[in-house]
Amino acid sequence: MDLILNLMDGVSMPAVSNAWIDVYEPATGAVLARLPDSDERDVELAYLAADRALAGWKAMGREGRSNVLLRLAQLIEDDLEAFAQLESKDNGKPLALARKVDIPRAVANFRFFATAILHFPSEAHVMDDVAVNWTDRQPIGVVGCISPWNLPLYLFTWKIAPALAAGNCVVAKPSEVTPCTAHRLSTLCARAGMPSGVLNIVHGLGPKVGAAITAHPGIPAISFTGGTRTGAEIARVAAPMFKKLSLELGGKNPVLVFDDCDMEEALSTTVRSSFTNQGQICLCGSRILVHERIYARFRDAFVSRVEQLRVGDPTSPDSDLGAVVSRDHMEKVLSYIDLARTEGGKVLCGGTRVQLEGALSGGWYIAPTVIEGLGPQCRTNQEEIFGPVVTLQSFTSDEEAIALANSTPYGLAAVIWTTDLKRSHRVARAINAGIVWVNCWMVRDLRTPFGGMKQSGVGREGGVDALRFFTEAKNICIKL
C-alpha cells in the first residue's frame, strides 16, 4: 500500500497528528493508499515555510520562476505514463482519458503559465500633460489553493501554476478522495529547482485542512474548485477577513439542440459531453434540450448510442466509462435516479449500478442513464448530480429554449447546436453562463476566461484573469 506524505518546506512528512486516512480504488473498492490526516497545525507549518520562501521566490524574477515551472512540466511529461496510471487507479477514470486529457493538460497548465507570466503586461494611463498612471502588479504573498477529485492533477495544477508563476508561495490542499498524483508531483519539485517552501501540500479532510487554510489570517487569497455548498462555506468564513476569492463551483449545464443542427455531430458530441469521466466534469451537459420537431429522432438515436457505451475496467481500452469516484458518490447518484423516477421521469436506458466480475466486483460503476418526461422545475433538473445521468426535454421556440437553459440556479457552461449563424450569436448572448460552446464541447484555449455565473461561482480563472487574481494591483500616479 502506498503512503502519501505532505510536502512541507521541501520535505515529505506525515501529519503532526501522525494519524492516517484510507484512500480507496474506485475500480475495486479496495484500499489503495493512506494519506496524512492533517489539521490546523500542519497548515500553520506550511504557512510558515511558505512565508519564509516568499522573498527568495520573488527575487528569482519572472524568468527564474518560469524556468522552474517549465522544468516541472517536463518532468511530469517524462513520467506521463506513471502519472496516468496513478490517476486512473485513484479516480476510477479510464486510463485512456488520463493519458489523453488529465496529465497532458496538467503539463500544459505549467507550460502555459510559465510562459504567460513572461508576457503579462502592466497598463499605463497617461493624462495628457498632467500625470502618468501605471499599474504595478505584485504577488499577493502566501495563497491557498483547494482542489476537487474529478480532475485531480489537472485542476490542482490549474491553480498552483498561475499562483507560483505570479510569484506567490502556496499552501495547497488536493482532494482527500484523490490525493495520489499531487503526492507524485511533490516528489518532482526539488528536481525542477523549486526552492523549499515555495509549494507546500497539506493532505487531509476538507473541514480540517481546507477550513484551516480558509481561516488562516496570513493567507489573503483562496482559489477553490468544488461543490457550491463548500464554496458558500468558504465565502462565509473568508468575507469578514476581506480575502480575495476565486470560486469555481457546480453546474447544471444545458445542451440546446436546434432543428437545423448537424445531427451527426450533435449526437456524437452530446454522448461525450454527457458521459466523459462518468459525467463527473463540471462542464458536462446534464440537461439536453431538443427542438420538438427533431425530439423523437434525436432521442432514439441518442439512446441507442448510449446503450452501446461500455462500462468496465478503467485500464481496458474497451471501456468508455470507468468507476465513479467513491461509494458515497455512487449512492448519491443512484439516489438521484430514484428521485427522478419518483418525480415521474421515465428511464430510457441505464438507471442502475453495474456489477462487474472478479476483482472489480467491489467497484463503483453506474450505467450511463438517460431520463425523459420531467419538467424543468423538478429537483432532478435543478440540482447538480455530477454523474452519468442526463435528462431530455423538448422546446418549441428559441425563447423557450433560452428560458429553459436559464431556469436553474447555476450558470457555468452551455452548448448550442445550430447551423444558423444569427441564432448562434443571439442565443449564446442570451444564456446566463460563463462559457458557451457553439457546435463543439470542451474546446479549451487557456487564455480565455473560465468560470461561472450565479451559483456556479465568483471570478474567472485562466490566462490574464488568473494572473490578475494572484497579484495585487496598485496604481502609481506620477505628476508630469
Rounded Cα–Cα distance for residues 63 and 335 (Å): 51
Q: Which is nearer to ligand TXE, 162 or 251 (CB)?
A: 251
For 214, 359, 389, 458, the CA distances from 206, given in Å and listed in that order, are 10, 30, 26, 20
Rounded Cα–Cα distance for residues 205 and 188 (Å): 24
149 binds ligand TXE (CB under 6 A): yes
Alpha helices in 176-226 (DSSP H): 180-186, 211-215
Rounded Cα–Cα distance for residues 177 and 321 (Å): 19
38 binds ligand TXE (CB under 6 A): no
Binding residue for ligand TXE, selected from 250, 254, 312, 376, defined by CB under 6 A = 250
Active-site choice (248, 372, 384, 461): 248
Query: Is the backbone of residue 350 left (phi > 0), alpha (psi -120 to 50) or beta?
Result: left
Could you confirm whether 264 is annotated as catalytic?
no
123's grid cell: 497598463
Cα-based angle 247, 249, 251 (whole degrees, multiple of 5):
150
DSSP designation for 194: P
Query: Is the backbone of residue 332 left (phi > 0), alpha (psi -120 to 50) or beta?
Result: alpha
| Residue 185 beta carbon to ligand TXE: minimum distance, rounded to whole angstroms | 15
Residues 6+ apart with CB under 8 A from 272: 441, 442
Q: Which is nearer to ligand TXE, 230 or 424 (CB)?
A: 230
Active-site choice (180, 282, 372, 384): 282
* Stretch of residues binding ligand TXE (CB under 6 A), selected from 67-75, 203-211, 254-262, 424-432: 203-211
Mask for 303-342, x = binds ligand TXE (CB under 6 A) = ----------------------------------------
* CA nearest to 4, candidates 32, 40, 46: 32
| Residue 237 beta carbon to ligand TXE: minimum distance, rounded to whole angstroms | 8
Binding residue for ligand TXE, selected from 227, 362, 373, 449, defined by CB under 6 A = 227
| Residue 315 beta carbon to ligand TXE: minimum distance, rounded to whole angstroms | 23
| Residue 230 beta carbon to ligand TXE: minimum distance, rounded to whole angstroms | 3
**With contact defined as beta carbons under 8 Å apart, do 459 and 245 qualify?**
yes
| Residue 239 beta carbon to ligand TXE: minimum distance, rounded to whole angstroms | 14
255: helix, coil or strand? strand
Binding residue for ligand TXE, selected from 8, 106, 234, 257, defined by CB under 6 A = 234
Which residue is associated with the grid cell 435543478?
382
Count of residues that interact with ligand TXE, criterion CB under 6 A: 26
**With contact defined as beta carbons under 8 Å apart, do 23 and 32 qualify?**
yes
Q: Which is nearer to ligand TXE, 38 or 406 (CB)?
A: 38
Which residue is associated with the grid cell 454527457?
274
* Stretch of residues binding ligand TXE (CB under 6 A), selected from 170-178, 189-197, 259-267, 420-428: 170-178
* Stretch of residues binding ligand TXE (CB under 6 A), selected from 100-108, 223-231, 369-377, 470-478: 223-231
Q: Which is nearer to ligand TXE, 167 or 452 (CB)?
A: 452
Could you confirm whether 248 is annotated as catalytic?
yes
**With contact defined as beta carbons under 8 Å apart, do 274 and 285 qualify?**
yes
Binding residue for ligand TXE, selected from 45, 108, 146, 171, defined by CB under 6 A = 146
442: helix, coil or strand? coil
187: helix, coil or strand? coil
148 binds ligand TXE (CB under 6 A): yes
* Stretch of residues binding ligand TXE (CB under 6 A), selected from 191-199, 225-233, 389-397, 420-428: 225-233
* Stretch of residues binding ligand TXE (CB under 6 A), selected from 99-107, 145-153, 268-276, 388-396: 145-153
207 binds ligand TXE (CB under 6 A): yes
Residues 6+ apart with CB under 8 A from 10: 49, 189, 190, 195, 196, 197
Rounded Cα–Cα distance for residues 298 and 121 (Å): 48
Q: What is the CA radius of gyration of the chain?
A: 23
249 binds ligand TXE (CB under 6 A): yes
**With contact defined as beta carbons under 8 Å apart, do 137 and 471 qualify?**
yes
Range 364-393, binding ligand TXE (CB under 6 A): 384, 386
**With contact defined as beta carbons under 8 Å apart, do 179 and 258 qualify?**
no
Q: Which is nearer to ligand TXE, 64 or 449 (CB)?
A: 449
Q: Which is nearer to ligand TXE, 192 or 323 (CB)?
A: 323
| Residue 389 beta carbon to ligand TXE: minimum distance, rounded to whole angstroms | 12
- Which residues of the chain form contacts with ligand TXE (CB under 6 A)? 146-150, 173, 175-177, 206-207, 210-211, 214, 225-227, 230, 233-234, 248-250, 282, 384, 386
The residues annotated with a catalytic role in the active site are 248, 282
